[in-house]
Amino acid sequence: MTRLLLIGPPGAGKGTQAVRLAETYGVPAISTGDIFRSNVKNETELGKKAKAYMDAGDNVPDSLTNALIRDRLAEQDAEHGFLLDGYPRTADQVRELDEFLAGHGQALDVVVELVADPDVVVERLRKRAVEQGRSDDDESVVRHRLEVYSEQTAPLIDLYDGRGVLVKVDAIGAIDDVTARITTALAERGIALPDTATR
Ligand code: ADP
């Protein structure tokens, strides 16, 4: 049973690592960004409400995001663990998550901070803008997303550190190397790879 959270600036590689880690540890990767993007694509009511915020690089309002994550975490596949990517990113979202977990007799095991230099993430996002054409990877929007991150999300790192659940991992380098750093850091926290745990 593993409950993990990935935190870090846009472009740190949370999404990439989340998919790999979820597979390794056998838990669902839950990305609020992906859920919002698929709602925008399918033109759902939620997507229509979220789109303008996303395009501007602003956080979608907590009320919408919290309702979404409550529903998602209540699904059966998340009962025995999950990996959250991109949530919580505000103090209000932390309160919501705390309340949800406490209400289910659960708690987070580890919060992994992906540490990346702003210059590096800006460059990565510039490349992604060309390759994937994400509407929020436009240069001025990227700059704004980084500001929103430092104002609203970065303070949460200290909060989790104070709770003793934070590990910092260098997110610069090859994708495989970063994954290996994370699994090593998790092993040091007593979260073994499922394979090695059963051997
Ligand atoms: P990144 O972290 O690289 O900016 P995400 O895919 O996590 O990308 O998020 C893209 C956008 O989706 C955000 O800029 C925001 O508008 C919205 N979003 C995602 N997660 C949240 C959240 N937890 N709270 C509010 N808005 C969110």
Residue 195 confidence (pLDDT)? 66
pTM of the model: 0.93
Probe target for ligand 1 pocket from 35, 55, 59, 65, with the most ligand atoms within 8 Å of CB? 59
Give the pLDDT confidence score for residue 54 in this predicted structure: 96
Confidence of residue 83 (pLDDT cuts 50, 70, 90): very high
- In 3D space, the residue among 154, 167, 15, 170 whose CA is nearest the CA of residue 84 turns out to be 15
Each residue's pLDDT tens digit, 16-51: 999 999 999 999 999 999 999 999 999 999 999 999
Ligand 1 pocket check: which of 17, 31, 46, 54 to mutate, most ligand atoms within 8 Å of Cβ? 54
Q: Which atom of ligand 1 is nearest to the CA of 65?
A: 24
- Omega into 88 within 30° of 0, i.e. cis? yes
Measure the CA–CA gap between 154 and 65, rounded to whole angstroms. 18
In order, the DSSP letters of 166-190 are EEEEE--S-HHHHHHHHHHHHHHTT
Asked if residues 155 and 90 have their Cβ atoms less than 8 Å apart, the reply is: no
pLDDT tens-place string over residues 130-168: 888 887 888 889 999 999 999 999 999 999 999 999 999
CB 96 within 8 A of CB 32: no
What's the DSSP call for residue 191? -
pLDDT at residue 118 tops 90: no
Q: Which residues line ligand 1 (CB under 6 A)?
A: 10-11, 32-33, 36, 53-54, 57-60, 65, 86-87, 89, 93, 136, 145
Please pick, among 49, 126, 134, 168, the residue that the annotation labels catalytic.
134
Distance 17 CA to ligand 1 centre (A): 16
